[in-house]
Chain A
């Protein structure tokens, strides 16, 4: 089997349309994960055992099972218990939850990375807890969280092909469909790989630059 440019050219519009869906899935999944991660982190940090214990268990559980199994569970098993979700909804919620647990750990590490003495300085200046978080703790935790947050953005993007297994019409799903229709697999899958590459690489580079810029803006580095 040899590469056929005219075929690649012919399927390009469908591939690009699917790329849009992949980006949408990654974006929506990441947004859910970023917010849910925050909720999970706060849940783990509350002093109330009735809340923090179950949240910790949930995070542990989700982190120790594969995303694909979770996807299948939510999409194929949950309906048997009366919870029927569309492929998109199931996919976005599952990715959001899965990566939310990872992000909650990123946030936790970032908060713990701010020295306890910063809290004490705030208390000695009689700041309220809310103000302490807003003006002192979060601005210092953010640069610490940024690399981890960036990695999981790229991570979610690269895991979106799993959504093909439950029928979300993203890149991988479209490539599968094209292969089944035309019996040509070389061009669709090569294009999938290439599209992932040309999106991932610049994104990762952009994130590194952002990290450096944030560190500079914080005055944490000498220049």
Chain B
């Protein structure tokens, strides 16, 4: 039982809080006592070298992986844990099922359901998980497919769509659950250069017009600089440095950050 973490966070706490989160794979510590707060409507970018734990941050928040220590809170409530006898204990599957819909995730490889059309991909979860009627779910899905510019392709299967189009459908699919926070894991890394722009445009509009809370792992430094409220630089499972884009890209303090930015900016 964990006594250092409260059962609920006080009013006015951030939407997402990582509190001393540690994640290990066997002997390898991938997240090392991570503390990270994400405010409502904040757009946070995560950058850092490969293997520094960026994807893992999103995966533990999406509850795709269990953590070893610490607590993740969403909306003031513990997510990885649940209250028990004055303290906290690891969440049951049932407790997770009641809360997981607050979080949405878009994957590097889209992970659309290949046997369903674009529309069906977006309709399933709202119907099954949120209990929407078919009409309501389809209306919601159509609006979102329009939003990402995929309305005309609603009846196509993913195999008939380009990578950029698939990724836009995947974004619509995640949005259809109306998550409180969206997680984007290198959503343009698997795309051909000429279609990256169309996906970035969608993210841009989600940020500026819809004010969605987002955590975005990205290698697109220009994009991160342009749209983020805050940028976190990850190094060996820790946040080595974080700050506003101007600060982090314009005047990095940490040696690791400087080296990393040099390396990626030289490369591009």
Contact = CB atoms under 8 A, between A and B. Distances in A.
Interface residues of B, number: 29
A219 B115 contact: yes
Contacts of A20: none
Contacts, number: 67
A126 to B, nearest CB: 4
29 contacts: A118-B111, A120-B64, A120-B111, A121-B112, A121-B113, A123-B62, A123-B63, A124-B100, A124-B103, A124-B174, A125-B125, A125-B177, A126-B101, A126-B177, A127-B124, A127-B128, A127-B129, A135-B124, A135-B128, A136-B113, A139-B115, A140-B114, A140-B115, A218-B114, A219-B117, A219-B157, A219-B158, A219-B160, A221-B159
Interface in A206-223: 218-222
A115 B105 CA distance: 17
B13 interface: no
A120 B110 CA distance: 11
B159 A222 contact: yes
B65 to A, nearest CB: 10
Given A126-B97, A126-B177, A220 B104 contact: no
Interface of A: 115, 117-118, 120-121, 123-128, 131, 135-136, 139-140, 218-222
Given A117-B109, A222-B160, A126 B125 contact: yes
Nearest to A142: B115
Given A128-B97, A221-B159, A123 B64 contact: yes
A-B pairs, top 7 by smallest CB distance, nearest first, are: A219-B157, A125-B125, A121-B111, A124-B105, A126-B100, A218-B115, A117-B111
A127 B97 CA distance: 8
Q: Which of A123, A126, A219 has the most CB of B within 10 A?
A: A126
A47 to B, nearest CB: 13
Nearest to A124: B105
A127 B158 CA distance: 20
Interface string B170-187: 000110010000000000
Nearest to B109: A117
A125 B129 contact: yes
Given A123-B63, A219-B158, A220-B114, 8 more contacts: A115-B111, A118-B111, A120-B107, A124-B62, A125-B177, A135-B124, A219-B115, A220-B159
Q: Which of A124, A128, A218 has the most CB of B within 10 A?
A: A124
Given A120-B64, A140-B115, A125 B173 contact: yes
A220 B115 contact: yes
B164 to A, nearest CB: 18
Q: Which of B112, B113, B117, B158 has the most CB of A within 10 A?
A: B113
B92 to A, nearest CB: 13
A127 B125 contact: yes
Q: Which of A121, A136, A218, A220 has the most CB of B within 10 A?
A: A121
Contacts of A139: 115
Q: Which of B62, B107, B114, B124 has the most CB of A within 10 A?
A: B114
A118 B109 CA distance: 10
Contacts of B107: 117, 120-121, 124
A74 B226 CA distance: 74
B62 A125 contact: no
A131 B107 CA distance: 21
A218 B113 CA distance: 10
